[in-house]
Structure 1
């Protein structure tokens, strides 16, 4: 018996070629994505890496995305390579223009470095969202369409706007803490399949009745 789509397939549903599991089309070693996380784009979801910009291996920063995330078209993850030197008179990147200007090459220590960009598990990111370098988005968060995420988003919060701001919590603190401990995204496929009705129920208290099968 099958207990859901193959997490190692490019298209979980062969009838919907606008949606693919990101993990299975990644070629860059500095992008890591968990099982079942998908990108939906009718212009070619296989081009997800084109939406991770200014990402240079010599900087060493990583984009880390968890499991069961839903990412809509128009996403852009801006990585640390987009940063310019801020400690000098001008921010202009003379060095990349060449023709003698390469003598103005900044040292890595002169460039702002925000660290890894981390997207947790079970996160919904709406259309045309931009995520800036070093941002951490917590498990269960929702990012509204057209948001520019410039600061960390706590677990199970909704954020929106430009610049992105917290709008509200999705659940009360007790349920948020329960879900963070539960980590349903780490369940094996069979347990997940047997509890789909609970995970998709509007009766939030049902999540506390989950049983192992």
Structure 2
């Protein structure tokens, strides 16, 4: 097995006011220009190289000019004119989310638990839980599981379990046998089949 030196997102971003869940890893480039948007990343997220998360920096296409006068020292007259750069709000990334290499996440986006963001995707809209999205703009390719299975997974919330329970369940978590997983969680078969 190759040796890997994991870079944990939590350590890389601590002290910057971001809320990073335990066991999430990767070092995304987070871009913000002082806007009051925040970043929350859930537990057990996998963030690949080259991922960019924008908390703002949007140029105002609804103004006469898109030029950021207030951000350029040469234009002190514009310094106190609010609204530039703009943000569409917080970025919230759920639990157990995989963001593949070179994806871009724009401000104001919420990514649901269990979602997968394809390599190079540009995410400008919310992503449903357990959806696989890809493209520019990112579109839902499919759900990872049936709607009933997704609803059940969202009730189970395995990422909130104690570490010991997760360790005991790893052989099932690391498989594609969702029926066996639900059975191990005590979910009656008629609720998800």
Query: What is the TM-score of this pair, normalised by structure 1?
Result: 0.80
- Picking from 54, 61, 72, the partner of 2:32 is 54
Which residue number corresponds to residue 25 of structure 1?
Answer: 12
Equivalent residue, structure 1, for 2:135: 161
Count of residues in Structure 1 that have an aligned counterpart in Structure 2? 184
Any idea what the Cα deviations from partners look like across 1:141-172, whole Å, max 9, x if unmatched? 00110111111100000000011111111110
Q: Distance in 1 between matches of 2:184 and 2:37?
A: 38
- 3-state SS of 2:166 partner: helix
Task: Give the Cα separation in 1 of the matches to 2:148 and 2:185.
Answer: 20
Residues 86 and 106 of structure 1: CA distance in aligned 2, closer, same or farther (over 3 Å): farther
How far the C-alpha of 1:209 sits from its partner, in A, is 1.9
Give 3-state SS (helix, strand or coil) of 1:194's partner: helix
Write out aligned runs for 1:6-25 (5 A).
15-17=3-5, 19-25=6-12
Uncovered stretches (5+) of structure 2, i.e. residues with no partner: 187-193
C-alpha change, 1:65 and 1:143, in structure 2 (3 Å) is same
Secondary structure of the corresponding residue to residue 181 of structure 2: helix
What is the Cα deviation at residue 109 of structure 1?
Answer: 4.6
Which residue of the partner structure matches residue 118 of structure 1?
92
Q: How does 1:165-204 map to 2 (within 5 A)?
A: 165-204=139-178
Unpaired runs of at least 5, structure 1: 1-14, 40-47
Q: 2-side partners of 1:165 and 1:106: how far apart?
A: 38
Q: Distance in 2 between matches of 1:135 and 1:106?
A: 28
Three-state SS of the structure 2 residue aligned to 1:166 is strand
Aligned to 2:191: none
Residue 24 of structure 1: how far off its partner (Å): 2.3
Give TM-score scaled by structure 2 length: 0.87
Q: Paired residue for 1:79? A: 55
- The verdict on how the C-alpha distance between 1:190 and 1:53 changes in structure 2, with shifts beyond 3 A counting, is same
1:93-132 matches, cutoff 5 A: 93-99=68-74, 101-105=75-79, 107-109=81-83, 112-132=86-106
Give the match for residue 67 of structure 1: 43
The 1-side partners of 2:81 and 2:129 are apart by 36
Report the aligned-residue RMSD: 1.9
1:131-150 map, 5 Å = 131-150=105-124
* Cα displacement (A) at 1:29: 3.1
